[in-house]
Each structure stands twice: as structure tokens, then as C-alpha cells.
Amino acid sequence: MKSGKQIVSYALISVLIWACGRVTQIETPTKTPGVLSTKQITASAEPTELLSVQLTKEDTPLLEPDLAKSDCLAQGGEIEQLTIESEFLGEELRFRVYTPPCYAEQAQRRFPVLYLFHGQSYNDDQWDRLGADEAANKLIASGEIAPFLIVMPYDRVSRQPSKAPFGGAVVEELLPWVDANYRTLAEREGRAIGGLSRGASWALHLGMTHPELFGAMGGHSPPVFVEDSDKVRGWLDGIPEELMPRIWLDIGELDQRRILDSVIWFEGLLDERDIPHEWSLFNGTHVEEYWSSHVELYLRWYAADW
């Protein structure tokens, strides 16, 4: 273990933290295989480099005993594509909902919910195509994680938050609708938010501005919104300790320079404030193959406290 700031790869040495999060999302066609190590940072310890992260609790009730070998586990979960009217958007809000295996058979049980946002130029099918449902089915059926719902909304426009009503539609319309129509744990401890690329920008934005709603937020290749960069310090400083969400950040070391600068800048702000978080720098770049190769790892982390 090294003391002080942990340097996780040669790529970090070459990155200048001068962008202060002022970035735009750009998709790149290249791919670099392989995985680098990760580190977990807590407020009470020096940064620690990890080869793996223990993500499940031994005392968590994962499945009801009579369902452990039932047919519904083998059948897997289901995905519905839905729409609701949105006053914020002035049109329908489209989204997908994954319900876990044996959701119907556990009529008295309430489930945590993970909200996952797609990247720029994609839609609500992206996390589905990346294998989020298959990974969840596998981990739930094996008893490695507790069952939970995944909600995947469609952001139709690529604008900054002040000019995009999408955030308001998610918080004010989608969350209440999901809680009213599914058997959810309608409290922050049972709710997480995450996304990739532009979707990660939304996850960080909503996670920091609504800590009372989300117990965890994850950013996968996450540039901070341009207009958010001057506000992030104030948001972080304004979150009470008891409402600070669990935080995950990851990115490929060969991602776009401006995006890499942004996430390293944001991670530096967390370090400065001794805010607990998990930070991973993997081999890879800004492509779907990168995110799909880490989907199972992401889901393990989101479900760690469930």
C-alpha cells in the first residue's frame, strides 16, 4: 500500500487536470482490451489499490427460500417498454423497465430500483443491448445479489440541464410513477442512479442535486456537464454527511482526452473533501464494448447494499 495520492496507471501521469470538467461527449470507434486495477477511497483511510472489490453482504436476504430452485429464476426477468405523458417534456417520456426473476411470484415483496441512463445519440435500448438484464438475471439467480428493478429512460435531446427538461421529468414524473405502479422500495436507500457517457453526466447531476432521492450514484465514462462544472463544489459541500450517496466512477485510460480530464478533475474534488468513493481506471475507450465488458461489475456495485 502506498501513502498519499495513488497513481493507478501511466495514463494518469500524462493527463493534465486543466479542463475543469468543461467537456462535450464524443464517441470513438477504437477499443483497447484489458483491465487495470481499481482503488477504493474512504474518508478514514489512505487511498487503497485493490485487485478486486467485495460487493455483497453475507447477511443480506437475497431470495426467499422457496424460490431458490423455482422455474421463474431460470426464466429470468422481463423488460417492458412504456410511455407516460410528461408536462416537463411536452410529449411522452419513453422508458424501459426490467423486473427481476420471480417478481410476480413475490407479491408481498418490495424491490430496490436502479435508474440507468444511456449515452448521447443512443436511446432507452442501450443498456438492454449491453446486457444489463442478462447480467442481472445471472447474478440474481445465483444468489450473488438481491433482486431489483432497472428503469431505463430515453433522453431525446442533447442539451445542458438548464435547457433540457429531462431531469425534471425523471425526478418529478418518472420516479413517482414507477413507485406507484411497481412494488418498489420508495426511499433513497432503495434507489440508485447511474449512466454512461452523457447518461453519466445526468446521473452525477441528479445524484448531487437530489441526494434525498438516491442512495448511490455511478458514473461510467462520466464527463461533468459544462454548465455544472462551476456548481459541483457547492453541491458537494452542501450535501449533509448522512445524505452523501455512495459514489462510483470509472473510465477507460484511452477515452477522449477532455472526458478523461473531466472525470479526473471530479474525482480530485472528492479526494479533497475526503468523500468516500470508488474510482477505477480500466483499459479501454469510449465505446459500447467497454461498458458491456463491465456491466456485471457495475450491477454488483449498485446492488451491494441491497
Q: Which residues of 242-281 are buried (b: 16+ CB within 10 A; e: fewer)?
A: eebbbbbbbbbbbbbeebbbbbbbbbebbeeeebebbbbb
pLDDT, tens digit (0-9, with 9 covering 90-100), for 217-230: 999 999 999 999 99
- What pLDDT score was predicted for residue 41? 54
- What pLDDT score was predicted for residue 163? 87
Q: Which residues of 95-123 are buried (b: 16+ CB within 10 A; e: fewer)?
A: bbbbbbbbbeebeeeebbbbbbbbbbebb
CA-to-CA separations, 11 to 15, 46, 131, 257, 261, in angstroms, rounded: 7, 21, 28, 11, 11
pLDDT, tens digit (0-9, with 9 covering 90-100), for 102-137: 999 999 999 999 999 999 999 999 999 999 999 999
Confidence of residue 36 (pLDDT cuts 50, 70, 90): low
Q: What is the number of other CB atoms lying within 10 angstroms of the CB of residue 39? A: 17
Among 67-71, 193-197, 229-233, 265-269, name the one with the lowest average pLDDT: 67-71
Asked if residue 189 has pLDDT above 50, the reply is yes
Domains and CATH numbers, the chain: 69-256+266-302 (3.40.50.1820)
Confidence of residue 79 (pLDDT cuts 50, 70, 90): very high
Average pLDDT, the chain: 84
Q: How far apart are CA 29 and CA 151, in angstroms?
A: 27
Specify whether the CB–CB gap between 19 and 258 falls below 8 A: yes
Predicted structure pTM score: 0.81
Asked if residue 15 has pLDDT above 80, the reply is no
Q: Which residue has the cell 458491456?
A: 292
